[in-house]
Structure 1
């Protein structure tokens, strides 16, 4: 009961943090004008943007299925797809819970060991982080004159200010304590649950090794690149939904996807608040007012959340009814 209460409080705090960031982003803005832009948006382009995101989800399921095949688990495409959509649905409620949730779906539907699935998820996430890092690096190289001032004034100076106020001895002490706790936990697990710990380690290693055993590594990398291309296209298509952003080119979508990628890494349900602020800030670099950037980010975030709510719920319904029929 205590653990449940602590867990609930943690997620409530994270949710309230996201709401707080959302409030700070919209504070002082003309909400009436923002709502008018949203209400009069061209929803053909909003739907087109959401469709591009859905294609990225389909590609993610295909890529994940490849990792299972490499370690000799026959996971059907539809179970992989439903698991991905249910995972995104779970992330709207509990941040980072979706990764465990989709592994659980595959475990129940295909009898794949949980930790083998977790290993494959971590593997594909590492490739996503690599692409995000390379995309960010490309943004710095090719659009340095546009993003340099923002990175220096907003990011570097704030971080430097916080670092200067830190007590380094506290950091060293915390680092030593964390290291000791990790070593103690590993030792305790190996002593008390040696056989179970070994099975977990073997399953994780199997999942981690899934990429190295792929026969079609090039196809896996193509899927990975296409996922991020369609994410960028979703940003680009949505530019045409409102007048203020309709003149932006693909380079602005390229920058927006980098900013939104870091925003979605924040441990907040659905990236609420952080996504809006980061995307709006990215468009300011291209001469778009922060108000119009907020209208744009609200439209694209809401369309993606609605997509997940509809398709994620449908996938959950199909998985549950399939289980009951069996």
Structure 2
């Protein structure tokens, strides 16, 4: 009961933080004008943007299916797809819970060991992080004059001021305490559950090795490129939904997708607040008013959340009503 209460409090705190960031993003803005701009949006482009994002989810399911096949687990495309959509749905309620949730769906539907699935998820997420870092590096190289001031004034100076006010002895102490806790936990698990711990380790190692065993690595990389290309196209096509962003070009979409990618890393349900602020700030770099950037971010975030609510709920219904594999 205590654990459940602590977990619930943690997620409530994260949600409150997200709402707080959302409040700070919209604080001082003309909410009436933002709402007028949202209402006047051309929803053809919003729907097209949502369809493109859905195609990225389809490619993610196909890519994940390849990793299972490489470690000799035959997972159907539809089970992989439903698991991906249910995972996104779970992330709207509990941040980072979606990865565990979709592994659980595959475990129940296809009887794949849970930790083998987790290993494959971590593997594909590492490739996503790599793409995000490479695109961020590309922005620094090719659009340095645009993002340099933002990184220095908004990010670097803010962090430097906060770090100067911290006591480094406390930071060092917390770090070593955290390290000791990890070592102690691993030792305890190995001592008390040695056989079970070994099975978990073997399953995880199997999932981690899934990419190395792929027979068609170029196709896996092509899927990865396709996923991020669709994210980029979704961001770009949504520019045409409102007049203020319709003149923005490919460079702005490229920067916005990187900023939004880092925003979604934040442990907040659905990236609420953080996504709005980051995307709004990314468009300010290209001469857009922050209120217009917020209107755009609200439109694209809301459309993607609605897509997940509808398709994720449909996938959950289909999985729950489907007969399980014996």
Normalised by the length of structure 2, the TM-score is: 0.99
Q: Distance in 2 between matches of 1:154 and 1:130?
A: 24
Unaligned runs of 5+ in 1: none
Q: Distance in 2 between matches of 1:186 and 1:8?
A: 25
Deviation at 1:144, TM superposition (A): 0.5
2:9 alignment counterpart? 9
Q: Distance in 2 between matches of 1:315 and 1:255?
A: 32
SS for the counterpart of 1:240 is: helix
4+ runs of 1 displaced by more than 4 Å?
A: none
Deviation at 1:176, TM superposition (A): 1.2
Identify if the C-alpha distance between structure 1 residues 17 and 249 changes in structure 2 by more than 3 Å, giving closer, same or farther.
same
RMSD across aligned positions (CA): 1.0
2:122 alignment counterpart? 122
Unaligned runs of 5+ in 2: none
Alignment of 1:83-98 (within 5 A): 83-98=83-98
SS for the counterpart of 1:248 is: coil
Deviation at 1:325, TM superposition (A): 10
1:20 alignment counterpart? 20
Alignment of 1:288-307 (within 5 A): 288-307=288-307
SS for the counterpart of 2:213 is: coil
Deviation at 1:323, TM superposition (A): 3.2
2:313 alignment counterpart? 313
Q: Distance in 2 between matches of 1:301 and 1:158?
A: 26
C-alpha distance after superposition, 1:2-45 (max 9, x if no partner):
11111111101100110011011111111111111111100000
Normalised by the length of structure 1, the TM-score is: 0.99
Deviation at 1:171, TM superposition (A): 1.3
Q: Distance in 2 between matches of 1:151 and 1:324?
A: 51
C-alpha distance after superposition, 1:109-163 (max 9, x if no partner):
0000000000000000000000000000001100001110000000011111111
Deviation at 1:261, TM superposition (A): 0.4
Q: Which moved more, 1:174-183 or 1:255-264?
A: 174-183
Residues matched between the structures, number? 326
